[in-house]
Amino acid sequence: MKPISQSAIRNGLLAGFLTILYTYILYFIDPKLMFNPLWAFIPYFLIFPVFMVVSAKTTRTEHGGFINMGDAFMSAFITGVIAVFLSTMFSFVLQTVIDPSLEQVAKEATTEMTVGMMEYFAGDEIDDEQMDAVLEGLDEADYAPNLKNTIVSFCAMAMFGAVPALIIGRVIRRKKDPYAVVDNEEIYR
């Protein structure tokens, strides 16, 4: 088994810390933004993939310009796992230690988003009884983060990160040309 690329660790740490900074900025602008899917998933669709690509490309360069798909995948995947771990742990600490009142903010944001979606998609077809039942269910839900939910969230996000890592591994891979002549720098095909 090959050792973990230092590039994967470095890029994972950078992506994780950049995501922590992004989350903290959202927290200071408006804590409800942290629970809005549009804003909350930006790191997973922008920050993480960029650092995953950089990690795989750097690992390829470290291997002399050639890398198989498995090594490129592992480099990208490890970068994503480290970043997700840092992001998930920071969110847990933010919601349990730094500002436990975020539980109520999450509840309000979820309720507003759900009501908005129901009104948008169902329109006049939903009556007050149905709306009240949904709101009652949302009100009874537990929004407090706990270690079990945090671990499950981390595992799910890490597995979700395998998909872009596979794509990145496939795109970044570069095999040595078996017909290349190194001495004369000629390539026979």
pLDDT in tens, 19-49: 999 999 999 999 998 888 888 888 888 999 9
CA distance 25 to 31: 9
Residue 149 domain boundaries: 6-173
**Greater pLDDT, 60 or 111:** 60
- Asked if the structure places residue 150 within a domain, the reply is yes
**Greater pLDDT, 1 or 167:** 167
Threshold 0.75, pTM exceeds:
yes
pLDDT in tens, 101-133: 888 888 888 888 888 777 777 766 777 777 777
- Asked if the structure places residue 108 within a domain, the reply is yes
Domain tally for the chain? 1
